[in-house]
Structure 1
Amino acid sequence: MTTEEDSRRLAELGYKQELARTWSGFSNFAISFSIISILAGCFTTFGQAWNNGGPIAISWGWPLISVFILIIGFCMSELVSAYPTAGGIYWWAAKLGKPIHGWFTGWLNLIGLVAVTASVDYGCATFLNITLNRLTGGAWEGTLPQAFLLFVIVLALHALINIYSHKLISLLQNVSVWWHVAGAAIVVAILIFAPENHQSASFVFFGTNNSSGFGDGSDGLPFWLYVLPLGFLLTQYTITGFDACAHVSEETQGAARSAARGLWQSIFYSAIGGWILLLSFLFAATHVDEINKNAGFVGTIFDTALSSPLATAIFAISTIGQFFCGMSCVTSMSRMTYAFSRDGAVPGWRLWSKVDRNRTPVNAIIAGCVAAALITLPALYAPAGLTTPVAFYAVVSIAVIGLYLAFLIPIWLRLRMGDAFQPGPWTLGRKYKALCWIACVEIVIVSIYFIMPFSPAGVPGSADFTWTSVNYAPIAVGVVLIGIALWWALSARHWFTGPRRTIDEVPAA
């Protein structure tokens, strides 16, 4: 498909070509692959799975949940093929349903993208904090305030790259893919050949661990029904953000095919690479007591199994991968902000929907990064003994819930539409019914689990309750849902009509 054909298809959907359509199909795949980033999520949320289930939450949980996420990806690939617009998920919901569906989808998606940007950049700052501490021999202390300072610096750098280097972003997305492939391969090789000892296959595939504080640390019924599913947050969080393929579809050549293909392939290849990487972690986890002592922090595996230089090299590889990931997150978030504002949904929409002379939504980039910094402020505080603040996992949960609920609405609407849906060149055919049902049920279940407390200290009314242990995801998501519902009922339903056309006629073929 030529650029003219892409622009004509966009015009049929109601928009003129304002963003520069310079991205190749590989670049479209690359942004989602970079946002999924096995060098980010597999490292930063490893402790969540280790403490809540242990090895089985990783060795079996990862491929199991990956299959469900791939099904969600297939459903979304069909939708992006039919409607390749920057608004992506929000546009699909408004098209397949009513303005109210677009309203809720857009806000959930936007909140999820802000949260995933915050969590990725905070994870990057955490690993950079550790790397600097190791490289300086402790001169850089690596405190929580220092981690937050690095987080703000990383966030600012990502904003600047996105503002001033449109062409560089596309190039860096491509570089990021190869960094993730080569970097992960190097980490796996180090963990195979450098340690003196490895864990047994029985430990990796059948070992359990319950350091959550629930169920007295046993593997009884509470373990299987509550604790272990909390460990699945590792997979559900890592393999997310793949909607980026849709958000940059107005900048992608041959978007109706390449964006659909890029979306599901980014999930598929990340699932395989991530599983191999995580298995290498588990086989190298020979000092279980020490890992438990450090709340499942993945860096403890490297410190106990490797020499200091090799452990530092792994931290550096992951940090750079996370930097690429955060850069891609800002790109996706800003395109969603631009598209949703273009349709008048965001307060001050005229400001956020502007593009500069380089056809870049500068104001949308700045606004999203500022919001990401604000919701991460609680990470300045952490319960004693924890390497990672509970607030980090809360922001992770907000990202997962916001994004996946945003995915749920258009998938459900497509299922409800049935054969009346007009697919694009990439379609599920008759399989859409089974796949859409599976996707909807899985999203509802994980959203319920990820608003639950992560530890007994986060349960209101418990003897050791502390506010720093609270999973504030349900509070944040609940306040937002109530807020946008009230906003809709009292005001938006009178003026928000969904996507606004920015073009009067479709260019002739």
Structure 2
Amino acid sequence: MGYAQELFRAMGGFSNFAISFTIISVLSGCLTLFYSGITTSGFAAGSIGWPLVTIFVVIVALGMAELASAFPTAGGLYYWASKLGGPAWGWFTGWFNLIGQVAVTAGIDYGLAVSIDVLLNAWFPHFPATLGSVSGIDPATQWATLGIYAVVLIAHAILNIFGVRIVAFLNDLSVWWHIVGVCLIGGGVVVAALLHPSAPLNSAATLFAADPKYNASGFPAWYAFLLGLLMAQYTYTGFDASAHMTEETIGAETRAPWGVVMSVVVSAFAGYLVLMGLLMAAPDIGVKGAAGAINPVLYILEYRLGAVLGPLFFAVAVGAQFFCGMSSITTNSRMIYAFSRDGAVPFSRLWHQLDSGRTPRNAIILSATCAFVLAIPTVFNYVAYVAITSIAVIGLYISYVLPILLRVLTRSFKHGPWHLGSWGKPIGVIAVLWVICIAILFMLPTVNPITIVTFNYTPIVVLGTLLILVIWWTVSVRHWFKGPKIQGSATELANIERDVGETVLLDGEETASSH
């Protein structure tokens, strides 16, 4: 494909799946936005919203998987769009993906910082922790959370700089950590409720009702239910990681597509289990109950499991969120590395450099730094966190669907060994329509009345970014950016590989495995 093997190819199929599964992290997205979900449509945000969103996300994942098999490169979506539609499509796709990657890293790690803050408060009550809202902000809490957030980002950057081997190992460990965590949290509260019949589980009629009494958005119930879909849609982000890690995966043309699809499918079941367990066991998710607690998930765990086991189970979720943030930095840095390889990012030469361990250290540092900057507004306005998650969803899904749209429109697409056959185009059309719907939805107001404090600045960021990119492309980029570059002749590629320490040409899986 014209690129030298610079990154270290050591990941197997399970590790490739594991990184996407870890970034989706049902113990991160589901739990950090649990509050936002239940204060729109109550139980229905999880019981109905989760499976509804799942159907369409699987369709998007199938469309992406087919492209990952045809073009197994670290640039992933940017490279696909470039090959199918030309440099302009590739450049815009790449930048939306990059913005989404930074936003999702910020969303994950800031959510982790909030969870650590809450957990420390549970163990040490004097530690500042107050429920963030659009109406009341505790400055001590926000600054403490931002400080924890900085420490978390530094830790994740250091782990990634150590190299792909430790990241692969931790991602493999993360899969089992998540599975055990889902069983402990989703199953533990249900078992505890069954052992104490005085506080029975909620009925099916209650679980599947979009009750207006839980609607704190100020909008009609139907609109509030749609807003509640953000919890599921935000959780299902990051599964493009399997595509970004293809240059570090053995047999990537088949293993990466399965990583994309199976990470979504396994997350679908795991996420529904943990959500339904919490909702069945929830004593009250009204404003005076779980929704009014410092953290509604911890509130449910402590109510059912007590003041000792509850925080311990919550700590398991915090551990899962830590793995999730680490993997997000990994895939974000690979996107920056690949995009810079073709000169699409300012100071590309700096971000394309590898350290002695063949790790894009500079790209890792840039990823963590940008994520920190994006979360600074949360100190002054907690609703900024919801906006960050919306930006992540919109940016990433636009980048997911642009190559799929091009695959639908082109007649010259040559599929790889993993493909959808005649279903490719119908699946692509449905994926495009779904992303158009959610992109519009998550740019709409989230709280009524709309004030300077409650304003959703997502459309300003998304549309403002699009305007900047259009101007930048028109004035400058189109004159010099020609899309993916061939790094050189076979001899020149071999020299590049020799310089970074690559000693074995990967002709097939057998050779790759022995390497």
TM-score, normalised to structure 1's length?
0.91
More deviation, 356-365/471-480 = 471-480
For 1:47, give the aligned amino acid.
Y
**Structure 2: distance between partners of 1:434 and 1:214:** 38
- From 34, 40, 63, the equivalent of 1:46 is 34
1:238-286 Cα distance to aligned partner (Å, 9 max, x none): 0110000010000000000000111100000000110011000110112
Partner of 1:277: 274
Aligned-residue offset at 1:41: 0.6
Match of 2:243 in 1: 246
Task: Judge which range, 291-300 or 259-268, deviates more.
Answer: 291-300
1:206 aligns to what? 209
Give me the identity figure in percent. Answer: 42
**Whole-angstrom CA distance in 1 between matches of 2:206 and 2:356:** 57
The structure 1 residue matched to 2:406, chosen from 398, 410, 413, is 413
Matches within 5 A, 1:106-117: 106-117=94-105
**Which residue of 111, 126, 139 corresponds with 2:126?**
139
- Deviation per CA, 1:373-420: give whole Å up to 9, x if none: 0010011134xxxxxx211111000100000000111000000014x2
1:449 aligned to 2:441?
yes
Q: Which runs of 5+ in 2 are unaligned?
A: 130-140, 495-504, 508-515
* In structure 2, distance between residues paired with 1:166 and 1:33: 17
Q: Partners of 2:148 and 2:295 in 1: how far apart?
A: 23
Does the Cα contact within 8 Å between 2:352 and 2:363 map onto a contact in 1? yes
Residue of 400, 417, 424 corresponding to 1:432: 424
TM superposition shift of 1:130: 1.0
The answer (yes or no) to whether the contact 1:212–1:454 under 8 Å persists in 2 is no
**1:128-207 matches, cutoff 5 A:** 128-136=116-124, 138-142=125-129, 143-195=141-193, 196=196, 197=199, 198-207=201-210
TM-score (norm 2): 0.90
Unaligned runs of 5+ in 1: 1-12, 216-221, 383-388, 460-464
Distance 2:69 2:264 in 1: 17
> In the alignment, what sits opposite 1:29?
17
Judged with a 3 Å threshold, the aligned counterparts in structure 2 of structure 1 residues 408 and 82 are, in CA distance, closer, same or farther, namely same
Moved more, 139-148 or 312-321: 139-148
Alpha-carbon contact 1:230-1:449 (below 8 Å) kept: yes
Q: Does residue 237 of the first structure (1) align with residue 223 of the second (2)?
A: no
Give the C-alpha shift of residue 75 in structure 1: 0.4
Structure 2 CA distance, aligned partners of 1:180 and 1:74? 23
Cα deviation digits, residues 147-176 of structure 1 (max 9, x gap): 111001000100011012431111001000
Give the conservation status (yes or no) of the 8 Å contact 2:378–2:384: yes
> Which segment is superposed worse, 138-147 or 317-326?
138-147
Displacement of 1:296 after TM fit?
8.1
Q: In structure 2, what is the equivalent of residue 328 of structure 1? A: 327
Whether the 8 Å CA contact 1:50–1:296 is kept in 2: the answer is no
Higher deviation after alignment, 351-360 or 471-480: 471-480
Partner SS for 2:26: coil
Which amino acid in the other structure matches residue 238 of structure 2? G
Q: Distance in 1 between matches of 2:217 and 2:119?
A: 30
Q: CA RMSD in A?
A: 1.6
The structure 2 residue matched to 1:490, chosen from 465, 475, 495, is 475
- Once residues 329 and 199 of structure 1 are traced to their aligned partners in structure 2, the CA distance between those partners, rounded to angstroms, is 35
Equivalent residue, structure 1, for 2:456:
471
State the shift of 1:490 in Å. Answer: 0.2
For the residue of structure 1 that corresponds to 2:27, the secondary structure is coil
CA distance in structure 2 between the aligned counterparts of 1:473 and 1:60, rounded to whole angstroms? 25
> Is the 8 Å Cα contact of residues 47 and 295 (structure 1) preserved in structure 2?
no
In 2, Cα distance between the equivalents of 1:105 and 1:193?
46
The 2-side partners of 1:213 and 1:367 are apart by 36
Does residue 74 of structure 2 align to residue 86 of structure 1?
yes
CA displacement at 1:55 relative to structure 2 = 1.2
Q: Is the 8 A contact 2:19 2:171 kept in 1?
A: yes
